[in-house]
């Protein structure tokens, strides 16, 4: 029963790709939304390109965090080279550890994008308030960062567990 | 840290020098005009808003002319030209060009007119082409198309929308009409058949009805023979195209006037601003008065210059308590670059300190911790240095931003070496893949956050506590300075005791120190002292936080609510965990790219792959993470740090100056 024996690494990999998947999808939706808004502003005033570009990119970080969690998990479970002998319990733990990033990353990217779209219309009307407009979406990102933190700490912690 | 002191200025000069005085003040750009003197029997204001509107329109016309010039004969622009700043123009040249402003304006109108002509002509081209196309099937017909017949015959010229042969046509016609008629086909194609029909005059109505029934559509009415008409149209088409080309040619030939047009756009913008000031100027029969604010350090020079040049009398005094004095920040070279960030949050309100000097070192440190890669830091430093050296005329705001990124880059380099990151783990990857020396790597001077994330987290939170406590410290300082020592103790010292005590107390509990991976646990006696300090802080806050209420019950409730604010300290401190998260993001993504690049191993294609992935990957990573570091550094400063002591809301000093786009006129004294 090779599958049962190797279930640990399967679950761990499932966790890694879930984090990358969900956060990546969230960011893709988010950056898409903000991109539409940004393009609208640039049709009116091409000189605002650099400002709205920054605002467009803000919801993109969740995807990077997802990638980060995915990558760390891959290195920890030995998929990127090394020993990939993961017990079932550890596999489940890795899977669970990846979940905060997956869920929070997905939802916060979309919510951050909505804040960013509003900030883009703010910058369109009042370009001098750009920095303030940048802070509102950045507030949403805090929660993605907190989720990232928990995921990272869990993943690093699991390695040392005697299970 | 300083908000530059301001003086209130009263200037009084002779009306005949009015224009030149205003121009001088505009070039100096040190006076913010405030309209405070109302009209009375002696002093009146002049309504020059209509002239101002004319100048504004002229400026807009010149801009439009420049736009036209740009679309036909575009100016070559380098990638870095946006750093260049405005061109410096000596006063003598300014005066020489200003003399010719009408002439230059005529060129601008000529450009606008040419553009209009081109637009109209281009609009008429499709009409001519359409007519030509309609005439195409009739080109062999040798009668004018509006030919109606002779004395005794009637003629019908038109087309039916289908292909017909002569026989079919005659048959079809005779089936709907009994009268005789001569039908001939002029031309025939898949879409239509052009027909010329002649009948006796008396049969005309029946013939016409029959042809209508067959679906005959009248040919385009021309009084000339189609071939001739075609020739005429073709000539018209050619002529119009030639006219468009000529106009374009003329526009292109005006390309050398670009500089003059830029000048005139600036010139009218400046005049419009001057007239804006003139409009609010109090003037009597022979003198005028200006009031406004001047930075104190400029006051003496301005007074001397005005007196010497234009006989203007200037008087300066300290602004009153209730006045909303405009703000300029002045800091040393190290703190100056963050002024832009403060300005975007809000300049210090009356009585507030300028936070630049306190904020600057934290700004650089936090940015560096988030990006934390030595190579990226070096790229930033040298990139900014290059631009700063290459474009000395750069606008002030941009210069400040670049300097800010340069200092942040230095900090990034420092932290990069501390954490052993140079393009991530590139040193080790290159040594291993291409030189087979896995033992070579760049060891961190301190520790690698990827290996010890807990240590990095603790460090981040410590930086956070220091940052927050510094913010509180500034509040204490300004309370003491303004003589409200008690407020300082209530709002700052109690919080120090509470938060500081709680943190130290946590360090005495082995649960926490083990969790944080610290090698020490503080002894119990320290814990007792810390707990006592926290308790004193807590009681102090509960008792004093609602001190503006007279009612003790209300006061205690407000105090309790204030003490609840300790949760916000918890979230503020935890917020600094982003230092860890963003730092890890940079290094892990670099690692991913390095790994991807080295996948084909030590071979020629392997080297090529590595170079391509390395360049693209690290450019991307630098861009995204520098953006992240910038955004989150600002957030930490605005939300966590400023939240402790700073509100902002001051008015920016906006002097009467040359707010031009292309030129900066320099006083050659």
Residue B624 has pLDDT above 50, yes or no: yes
**Average confidence (pLDDT) over B1-5:** 77
- Cβ-proximal residues to B668 (8 Å cutoff; 6+ apart), any chain: B90, B91, B92
pLDDT in tens, B437-478: 888 888 999 999 888 888 898 899 999 999 999 999 999 999
* Least confident piece of the model among A66-75, A77-86, B214-223, B353-362: A77-86
| Lookup: tokens for B59 | 């400026």
List the single residue in A68, A132, A135 with the smallest CB-CB distance to B584. A68
Contacts of B629 in chain A (CB under 8 A): none
Contacts of B631 in chain A (CB under 8 A): 54, 58, 134-135, 138
pLDDT-derived band at B3 (thresholds 50, 70, 90) equals confident
CB B304 within 8 A of CB B12: no
**Average confidence (pLDDT) over B353-373:** 94
> Domain range spanning residue B76?
6-101+265-317
CB A93 within 8 A of CB A155: no
Min Cα distance B126 → chain A (Å) is 28
Min Cα distance B588 → chain A (Å) is 6
**Which one of B81, B455, B575, B635 makes the best mutation probe of the A interface by having the most chain A beta carbons within 10 Å?**
B635
Check B585 against A64: CB less than 8 A apart: yes
Q: How high is the pLDDT of residue B416?
A: 95
pLDDT-derived band at B1 (thresholds 50, 70, 90) equals very low
Assess A58–B contact: CB distance below 8 Å, yes or no. yes
Q: How high is the pLDDT of residue B103?
A: 87
Question: Cα(B528)–Cα(B535) distance, rounded to whole angstroms?
Answer: 10
- Cβ-proximal residues to B206 (8 Å cutoff; 6+ apart), any chain: B177, B178, B179
Question: Cα(B435)–Cα(B429) distance, rounded to whole angstroms?
Answer: 9
**Which one of A152, A156, A159 makes the best mutation probe of the B interface by having the most chain B beta carbons within 10 Å?**
A152
- Angle of CA points B59, B61, B66, to nearest 5°: 95
Check B634 against A138: CB less than 8 A apart: yes
Min Cα distance A153 → chain B (Å) is 7
Number of domains in chain B: 2
**Could you tell me the CA-to-CA distances from A62 to A14, B138, B594 in Å, in that order?**
18, 69, 21
Angle, helices B604-635/A61-76, rounded to nearest 10 degrees: 120
Min Cα distance B66 → chain A (Å) is 16
Looking at chain B, which residue has its C-alpha nearest residue A80? B595
Question: Cα(B603)–Cα(B607) distance, rounded to whole angstroms?
Answer: 6
| Lookup: tokens for B444 | 């961190």
Half-sphere exposure of B197 (CA within 13 A, CB side): 35
- Whichever domain contains B188, its CATH number is 3.30.70.2750
Half-sphere exposure of B122 (CA within 13 A, CB side): 11
How many interchain CB pairs under 8 A, A with B?
70
Looking at chain B, which residue has its C-alpha nearest residue A127? B344
Q: How high is the pLDDT of residue B667?
A: 66
Reported as type and span, the H/E element at residue B9 is strand B6-14
| Lookup: tokens for B567 | 């949760």
Q: How high is the pLDDT of residue A27?
A: 95
Looking at chain A, which residue has its C-alpha nearest residue B574? A146
CB B83 within 8 A of CB B401: no
**Average confidence (pLDDT) over B620-638:** 92
B66 three-state secondary structure: helix
Q: How high is the pLDDT of residue B617?
A: 94
Q: How far is CA B239 from the centre of its chain?
A: 44
Residue B413 has pLDDT above 60, yes or no: yes
**Which one of A68, A74, A105, A122 makes the best mutation probe of the B interface by having the most chain B beta carbons within 10 Å?**
A68
List the single residue in B344, B580, B588 with the smallest CB-CB distance to A131. B344
Half-sphere exposure of B551 (CA within 13 A, CB side): 4
Residue B669 has pLDDT above 50, yes or no: no
| Lookup: tokens for B336 | 């100056």
| Lookup: tokens for A27 | 């960011």
Q: Which CATH number fits domain A2-159: 2.30.30.30, 3.90.380.10, 1.20.120.610, 1.20.1250.20?
A: 1.20.120.610
Q: How high is the pLDDT of residue B178?
A: 79
B545, B548, B551, B554: CA torsion to nearest 10: -40
Residue B372 has pLDDT above 90, yes or no: yes
- Is B168 contained in some domain? yes
Assess A142–B contact: CB distance below 8 Å, yes or no. yes
| Lookup: tokens for B117 | 């002509």
Which residues of chain A from 77 to 96 reach within 8 Å of chain B, CB to CB?
A: 80
Residue B422 has pLDDT above 70, yes or no: yes
| Lookup: tokens for B488 | 């300082």
How many residues does the structure list for chain A?
Answer: 163
Q: How high is the pLDDT of residue A104?
A: 96
pLDDT in tens, A9-35: 899 999 999 999 999 999 999 999 999
**Average confidence (pLDDT) over B560-573:** 87
Q: Is the same domain home to B269 and B201?
A: no
Assess A71–B contact: CB distance below 8 Å, yes or no. yes
- Angle of CA points B352, B357, B363, to nearest 5°: 115
Neighbours of A95 (CB within 10 A): 21
B237 three-state secondary structure: helix
Question: Cα(B89)–Cα(A18) distance, rounded to whole angstroms?
Answer: 61
Min Cα distance B119 → chain A (Å) is 22
How many residues does the structure list for chain B?
Answer: 669
**Average confidence (pLDDT) over B530-541:** 92
Q: Of B420, B409, B490, B483, give the one whose Cα is nearest residue B448.
A: B420
Check B580 against A149: CB less than 8 A apart: yes
Check A65 against B592: CB less than 8 A apart: no
Q: Would you give the DSSP letter of residue B624?
A: H
Question: Cα(B644)–Cα(B210) distance, rounded to whole angstroms?
Answer: 95
Question: Cα(B350)–Cα(B147) distance, rounded to whole angstroms?
Answer: 89
Q: How high is the pLDDT of residue A70?
A: 92
Residue B211 has pLDDT above 80, yes or no: yes
Check A64 against B592: CB less than 8 A apart: no
Neighbours of B127 (CB within 10 A): 12
DSSP letter for each residue of chain A: -HHHHTHHHHHHHHHHHHHHHHHHHHHHHHHHHHHHHHHHHHHH-GGGHHHHHHHHHGGGHHHHHHHHHHHHHHHHTTTTSS-----HHHHHHHHHHHHHHHHHHHHHHHHHHHHHHHHHHHHHH-GGGHHHHHHHHHHHHHHHHHHHHHHHHHHHHHHT---
Residue A125 has pLDDT above 50, yes or no: yes
Check B632 against A138: CB less than 8 A apart: yes
Residue A131 has pLDDT above 90, yes or no: no
Looking at chain B, which residue has its C-alpha nearest residue A67? B589
With a threshold of 0.90, tell me whether the complex ipTM lies above it: no
Q: Would you give the DSSP letter of residue B196?
A: E
**Which one of A58, A131, A137, A140 makes the best mutation probe of the B interface by having the most chain B beta carbons within 10 Å?**
A131
Task: Tell me which residue has tokens 């004193």.
Answer: B536
Residues of B with CB under 8 A from a CB of A: 341, 344-345, 453-454, 457, 574-575, 577-578, 580-582, 584-585, 588-589, 591-592, 595, 624, 627-628, 631-632, 634-635, 638-639
- Is B76 contained in some domain? yes
Question: Cα(B437)–Cα(B631) distance, rounded to whole angstroms?
Answer: 39
Check A139 against B635: CB less than 8 A apart: yes
Contacts of B578 in chain A (CB under 8 A): 142, 145
- Is B403 contained in some domain? no
- Is B622 contained in some domain? no
pLDDT in tens, B501-528: 998 988 888 877 877 777 777 888 888 9
- Is B663 contained in some domain? no
Task: Tell me which residue has tokens 């930033």.
Answer: B380
**Could you tell me the CA-to-CA distances from B172 to A56, B160, B210, B226 in Å, in that order?**
69, 12, 10, 27
pLDDT in tens, A86-106: 888 999 999 999 999 999 999
Contacts of B577 in chain A (CB under 8 A): 145-146, 149
| Lookup: tokens for A154 | 């869990």
- Is B302 contained in some domain? yes
pLDDT in tens, B88-134: 888 888 888 888 888 888 988 998 999 999 999 999 899 999 888 88
| Lookup: tokens for B616 | 């693209």
Question: Cα(B64)–Cα(B116) distance, rounded to whole angstroms?
Answer: 12
Q: Where are the domains of chain A?
A: 2-159
Check A131 against B341: CB less than 8 A apart: yes
pLDDT-derived band at B668 (thresholds 50, 70, 90) equals low
Give the mean pLDDT of chain B: 88
Question: Cα(A19)–Cα(A10) distance, rounded to whole angstroms?
Answer: 14
Looking at chain B, which residue has its C-alpha nearest residue A136? B635
CB B166 within 8 A of CB B181: no
Could you give the percent of chain B with pLDDT greater than 70? Answer: 99
Q: How high is the pLDDT of residue B148?
A: 83
pLDDT in tens, B28-83: 888 888 877 777 777 888 788 888 899 999 999 989 988 888 888 787 777 777 78
Looking at chain B, which residue has its C-alpha nearest residue A130? B344
Q: Is the same domain home to B155 and B96?
A: no
**Which one of B599, B628, B643 makes the best mutation probe of the A interface by having the most chain A beta carbons within 10 Å?**
B628
| Lookup: tokens for B147 | 């030919």
- Is B82 contained in some domain? yes
Q: How high is the pLDDT of residue A39?
A: 94
Half-sphere exposure of B529 (CA within 13 A, CB side): 7
Question: Cα(B112)–Cα(B306) distance, rounded to whole angstroms?
Answer: 41
- Higher-confidence residue of A75 and A37: namely A37
- Angle of CA points B49, B53, B57, to nearest 5°: 170
B140, B146, B149, B154: CA torsion to nearest 10: 100
Check B344 against A139: CB less than 8 A apart: no
- Is B508 contained in some domain? no
Check A57 against B627: CB less than 8 A apart: yes
Query: Which of B188, B219, B250 is the last residue before a domain boundary?
Result: B219
pLDDT in tens, B263-321: 888 889 888 888 888 888 888 888 888 888 999 888 888 888 888 888 888 888 888 88
List the single residue in A68, A130, A153 with the smallest CB-CB distance to B344. A130
């Amino acid at each position: 029963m090779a599958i049962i024996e190797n279930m640990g690494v399967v679950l761990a990999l499932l966790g890694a790709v879930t984090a990358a998947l969900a956060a990546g999808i969230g960011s893709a939706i988010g950056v898409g939304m903000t991109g539409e808004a940004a393009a609208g502003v640039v049709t009116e005033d091409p000189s605002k390109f650099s400002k709205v570009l920054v605002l467009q990119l803000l919801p993109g970080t969740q995807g990077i965090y997802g990638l980060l969690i995915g990558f760390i998990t891959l290195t920890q479970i030995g998929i990127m080279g090394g020993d990939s002998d993961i017990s079932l319990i550890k596999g489940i733990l890795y899977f669970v550890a990846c979940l905060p990033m997956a869920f929070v990353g997905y939802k916060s990217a979309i919510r951050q994008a909505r804040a960013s779209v509003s900030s883009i219309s703010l910058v369109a009307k009042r370009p001098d308030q750009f920095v303030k407009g940048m802070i509102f979406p950045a507030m949403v990102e805090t929660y993605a960062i907190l989720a990232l933190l928990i995921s990272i700490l869990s993943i690093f912690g699991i390695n040392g567990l005697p299970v | 840290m300083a908000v530059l002191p301001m003086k209130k200025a009263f200037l009084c000069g002779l009306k005949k020098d009015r224009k030149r005085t205003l121009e001088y003040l505009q070039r100096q750009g040190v006076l913010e005009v405030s309209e405070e003197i109302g009209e009375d029997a002696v002093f009146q204001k002049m309504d020059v808003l209509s002239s101002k509107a004319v100048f504004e329109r002229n400026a807009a016309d010149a801009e439009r002319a420049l736009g036209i010039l740009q679309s036909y004969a575009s100016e070559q622009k380098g990638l870095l030209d946006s750093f260049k700043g405005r061109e410096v123009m000596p006063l003598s040249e300014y005066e020489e060009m200003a003399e010719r402003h009408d002439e230059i304006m005529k060129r601008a109108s000529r450009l606008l007119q040419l553009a209009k002509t081109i637009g109209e002509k281009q609009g008429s081209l499709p009409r001519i082409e359409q007519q030509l196309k309609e005439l195409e099937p009739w080109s062999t017909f040798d009668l004018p198309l509006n030919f109606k017949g002779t004395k005794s015959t009637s003629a019908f010229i038109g087309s039916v929308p289908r292909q017909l042969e002569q026989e079919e046509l005659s048959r079809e016609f005779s089936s709907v009409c009994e009268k005789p008629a001569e039908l001939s086909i002029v031309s025939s194609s898949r879409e239509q058949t052009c027909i010329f029909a002649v009948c006796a005059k008396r049969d005309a109505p029946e013939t016409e009805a029959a042809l209508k029934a067959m679906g005959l559509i009248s040919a385009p009415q021309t009084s000339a023979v189609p071939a001739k008409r075609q020739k005429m149209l073709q000539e018209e088409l050619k002529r119009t195209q030639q006219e468009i080309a000529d106009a374009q040619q003329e526009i292109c030939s005006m390309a050398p006037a670009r500089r003059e047009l830029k000048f005139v756009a600036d010139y009218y913008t400046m005049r419009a601003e001057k007239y804006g000031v003139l409009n609010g100027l109090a003037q009597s029969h022979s003198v005028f008065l200006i009031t406004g604010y001047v930075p104190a350090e400029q006051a003496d020079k301005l007074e001397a210059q005005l007196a010497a040049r234009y006989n203007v009398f200037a008087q300066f005094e300290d602004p009153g308590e209730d006045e909303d004095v405009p703000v300029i920040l002045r800091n040393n070279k190290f703190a100056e670059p963050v002024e832009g960030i403060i300005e975007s949050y809000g300049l210090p309100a009356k009585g507030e300190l300028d936070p630049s000097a306190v904020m600057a070192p934290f700004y650089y440190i936090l940015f560096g911790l988030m990006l934390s890669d030595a190579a990226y830091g070096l790229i930033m430093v040298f990139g900014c240095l290059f631009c700063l050296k290459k474009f000395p005329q750069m606008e002030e705001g941009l210069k400040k931003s670049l300097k800010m990124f340069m200092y942040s880059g230095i900090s990034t380099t420092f932290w990069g070496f501390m954490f052993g990151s140079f393009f991530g783990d590139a040193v080790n990857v290159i040594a291993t893949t291409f030189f087979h020396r896995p033992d070579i790597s760049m060891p961190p001077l301190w520790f690698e956050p990827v290996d010890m994330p807990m240590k990095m987290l603790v460090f981040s939170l410590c930086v956070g506590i220091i940052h927050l406590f510094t913010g509180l410290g500034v509040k204490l300082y300004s309370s003491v300075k303004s003589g409200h020592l008690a407020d300082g103790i209530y709002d700052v010292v109690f919080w120090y005791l509470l938060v500081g005590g709680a943190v130290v107390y946590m360090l005495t509990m082995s649960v926490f120190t083990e969790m944080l991976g610290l090698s020490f646990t503080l002894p119990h006696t320290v814990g007792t002292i810390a707990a006592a300090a926290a308790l004193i802080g807590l009681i102090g806050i509960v008792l004093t936080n609602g001190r503006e209420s007279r009612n003790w019950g209300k006061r205690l409730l407000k105090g309790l609510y204030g003490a609840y604010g300790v949760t916000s300290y918890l979230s503020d401190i935890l917020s600094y965990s982003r230092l860890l998260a963003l730092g890890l993001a940079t290094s892990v993504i670099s690692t991913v790219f390095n790994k991807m690049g080295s996948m084909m191993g030590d071979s020629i294609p392997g080297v090529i792959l590595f170079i391509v992935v390395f360049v693209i990957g690290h450019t991307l990573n630098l861009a995204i993470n520098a953006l992240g570091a910038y955004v989150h550094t600002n957030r930490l400063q605005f939300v966590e740090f400023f939240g402790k002591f700073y509100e902002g809301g001051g008015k920016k000093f906006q002097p009467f100056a040359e707010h031009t786009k292309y030129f900066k006129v320099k006083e050659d004294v």
